Structure 1
Amino acid sequence: MPDPTQTNPIEDERVKEISGLRRALIRPELGGIVGTIAVFTFFVLFAGDSGMFNSQGVLNWSVVSAQFMIIAVGACMLMVAGEFDLSVGSMIGFSGMSIAIMSVSWGWPVWVAILATFALCLFVGAINGYIVIKTGLPSFIVTLATLFILRGFTIYVPQVLERKTIIGGVDTAAQGDWVAWLFGGKILTGLFSWLGDAGVIDTFTRGTRAGQPVVDGIPMVIVWAIVLVALGQIVLTRTRFGNWIFAAGGDAQAARYVGVPVNRVKIIMFMLTAFCATVLATCQVMEFGSAGADRGLLKEFEAIIAVVIGGALLTGGYGSVIGAALGALIFGVVQQGLFFAGVESSLFRVFLGVILLFAVILNTYIRRIITGER
């Protein structure tokens, strides 16, 4: 007779057991982790002696990766919410030109120009979201229109004001401006000087900078990337608002039925992509001391590709900021690694196409695992 003291759980045939392998496969970061390991292994083997992994080489691909990461954070969270923003690249050019015009052409203090530009771009992002929500049009179409509008203004306005499409002198206007330093400065300069004196990192051997470290600090673009990735991951995975983002992208109508403010969530996500694009643009303007009308070309597609590599589904409701950051890291390492390996740089676009196709196939398989499709 069965022991009455033992309780056997009632098995429900509707509940499917997920194996350990499948549980690992449905982690959104898996593709990014595998890709990162593969890319680093490749370049350690074929470009390890070229300087790619000395202090200057690490800084080079870290800065490029950080630029991708900044815009990938906003693109990832918006895609998880079920929408796309194709105006990111034009927003980068537009916001950079806005800062240059306000500070150089109009003579505003740089900190005022930066804050005013952020306010303007956040407003544009909110308008994108509002139009998508109120009209029901696909965000692909709405933001494609915004892409052309912003790029047109970015080219037209400086030509009217300055009769040119590149405005310089921002670095001169920004001297001593603390807000400008938040985007164009460096941190831990004392630590890197000490590392150079100790012989841990390379130093200049001649010229006016003899004895100074080749890498004299961590640029703020890297700091911004780390902060945005960390905050984005925390919000997405540890907060109620993060649950709302997943719900809005997974099934918007069902989310509305349980009280999720889907419209507000999506508008905020469009504003986030505009914010991230403006952060990157401001860092670029402070780094180069100028703004160009061609800045940000194709960045919207590179951001989306980084997010897809990081495991986000194109259908929304699934993704990871950490995965998107790994996708951006892969971009940066490959873009710079091809140069160090002596490979034709145009092959970078070939790599983007191949890895995008692979990522979409992998993500489709993952979606079938999640949904139980055959």
Structure 2
Amino acid sequence: MSQAQPTSTGDERIKTRSRFREALIRPELGGIVGTVAVFVFFALFAADSGMFNSQGVMNWSQVSAQFMIIAVGACLLMIAGEFDLSVGSMIGFSGMMIAIFSVTMGWPVWLAIIVTFILALIVGAINGIIVVRTGLPSFIVTLATLFILRGFTIYLPQTIERKTIIGGVSDAAQGDWLAALFGGKILTGLFQWFGDVGLIATFERGSREGQPVVDGIPMLIVWAILLVVVGHVLLTKTTFGNWIFASGGDAEAARNSGVPVNKVKISMFMCTAFCATVFATCQVMEFGSAGADRGLLKEFEAIIAVVIGGALLTGGYGSVLGAALGALIFGVVQQGLFFAGVESSLFRVFLGVILLFAVILNTYIRRIITGER
């Protein structure tokens, strides 16, 4: 008599997810959907306004790059389970220190930039040390740093120069090797060729006749792409990236597994300070001046970009690529409203609406991941 073969059945303890739910828990999903929706919207309502010609693309690319630079640092820190509300003030402070060191004190610009980065990293480390040593919420610690840095940013130029805007950085930066890495352009020859063969528009009259309206890629955009690539590789391809996720997901379990949680968190605070200073340096080199009001509200814009990109406010989950897409959405919308002839103040309304939507979506995703109801 032949023996009946056992019927293969799935383990009842294993819960399978539908492909739809698997797609939902990808952190980049919200950023991808939002990016597609924004581009489709402005393609329909602002296509004839010049938004998608070479100059229009460069405009919103530069704005997006600004958001991207600070979003990378904010994303890594949020995944590690912390916040930094001092990012905007760090932008203003770093830019002002570069101007004071180079213009007022007469230092070489390269030295002013290096010393400013060192100061920023020290402030970031102090934020991290206070948070991990005292157990205070990073929200409170960095809120205090926000006011301290903003106060110094206003006090120092008023005391030294009797004004809150210091110019002359462009003249001081002439021929400086390090300044060119933050304020120059690349691929200028290629863009000139694009203009010569008619791929992009050129000036038809005046002193710039024959030159392309877009004459290269600003270093601001180069820095944004570089930081996104480095941040993505760090987060997804390295052991340290796993430590970042573990530190934000369950810090105590991570410590028990040998993860140096405190060092990870302090490093991420330093990372946000570094990204803010990159932004500030590019901004100072572009405008040739530093202002005490630079960077206002940038910390919130960075956090919103990260949340749109799929990061959970509770930590342990997120994506640098998603944050970059969130930043791209910001840049396109901010410039797109202008091209579409919409009142620019509505950009803030958009930020509030999309933040609320992103938080609701991310809360739903967290429940899927954790199995909560």
Give the TM-score, by structure 2 length: 0.98
Structure 1 residue 3: Cα displacement: 6.6
1:330 matched to which residue of 2? 329
Structure 1 residue 15: Cα displacement: 1.9
The correspondence of residues 42-61 of structure 1 with structure 2, limited to 5 A, is 42-61=41-60
* 1:259 alignment partner in structure 2: 258
Q: Name 1:80's counterpart in structure 2.
A: 79
**Structure 2 counterpart SS, 1:178:** coil
Give the corresponding residue for 2:135. 136
For 1:136 and 1:361, locate their aligned partners in 2 and report how far apart those are by CA, in whole Å: 28
Distance 1:3 1:176 in 2: 85
- Residue 354 of structure 1 is matched in structure 2 by 353
Residue 240 (structure 1) aligns with:
239
Equivalent in the alignment of 1:99: 98
In the alignment, the residues of structure 1 paired with residue 294 and residue 158 of structure 2 have an alpha-carbon distance, to the nearest angstrom, of 15
State the alpha-carbon separation in 1 of the partners of residues 4 and 214 from structure 2. 72
Q: Does 1:31 align with 2:30?
A: yes
Q: Give the letter for the 1:58 counterpart.
A: V
Give the deviation of 1:12 after TM superposition.
3.2
Alignment of 1:260-299 (within 5 A): 260-299=259-298
Instruction: Please give the per-residue CA displacement for 1:35-85, whole angstroms capped at 9, x wherever unaligned.
Output: 000000000000000000000000000000000000000000000000000
Rounded to whole Å, the distance in 2 between the matches of 1:24 and 1:290 is: 46
The secondary structure found in structure 1 opposite 2:49 is coil
3-state SS of 2:178 partner: helix
Q: 1:30 to 1:252 in 2, by over 3 A?
A: same
Aligned to 2:313: 314
Unmatched segments (≥5 aa) in structure 2: none
Quote the residue 2:181 is aligned against.
182
What is the one-letter code of the residue matched to 1:95? S
Work out the CA distance in 1 between the residues paired with 2:78 and 2:11.
34
Q: Following the alignment from structure 1 to structure 2, what is the Cα–Cα distance between the partners of residues 351 and 2? A: 68
Are the structure 2 counterparts of residues 177 and 20 from structure 1 closer, same or farther at C-alpha, using a change threshold of 3 Å?
Answer: same
In structure 1, the residue corresponding to 2:166 is in which secondary structure? strand
1:100 CA drift (Å): 0.2
Instruction: Find the residue that maps to 2:179 and give its secondary structure.
Output: helix
Aligned counterparts, 1:66-215, within 5 A: 66-215=65-214
- Could you tell me how far apart the structure 1 residues matched to 2:114 and 2:37 are? 41
> Following the alignment from structure 2 to structure 1, what is the Cα–Cα distance between the partners of residues 179 and 201?
28
Q: Which amino acid aligns with 1:68?
A: F
Q: In the alignment, does 2:225 pair up with 1:226?
A: yes
| Equivalent residue letter for 1:46 | F
In angstroms, what is the RMSD of aligned CA positions? Answer: 1.1
Q: Which runs of 5+ in 1 are unaligned?
A: none
1:294 partner SS: coil
Note closer, same or farther for the CA distance 1:7–1:130 as it changes in structure 2 (3 Å cut).
farther
Q: Deviation of residue 14 (structure 1)?
A: 2.6
Structure 1 residue 11: Cα displacement: 3.7
**CA distance in structure 2 between the aligned counterparts of 1:234 and 1:7, rounded to whole angstroms:** 45
How far apart are 1:178 and its partner, in Å? Answer: 1.1
Distance 1:282 1:2 in 2: 78
Distance 1:258 1:344, change over 3 A: same
C-alpha distance after superposition, 1:209-256 (max 9, x if no partner)? 011000000000000000100110111011100000000000000000
Instruction: Count matched residues.
Output: 372
Q: TM-score, normalised by structure 1?
A: 0.98
What's the CA shift for 1:18? 1.0
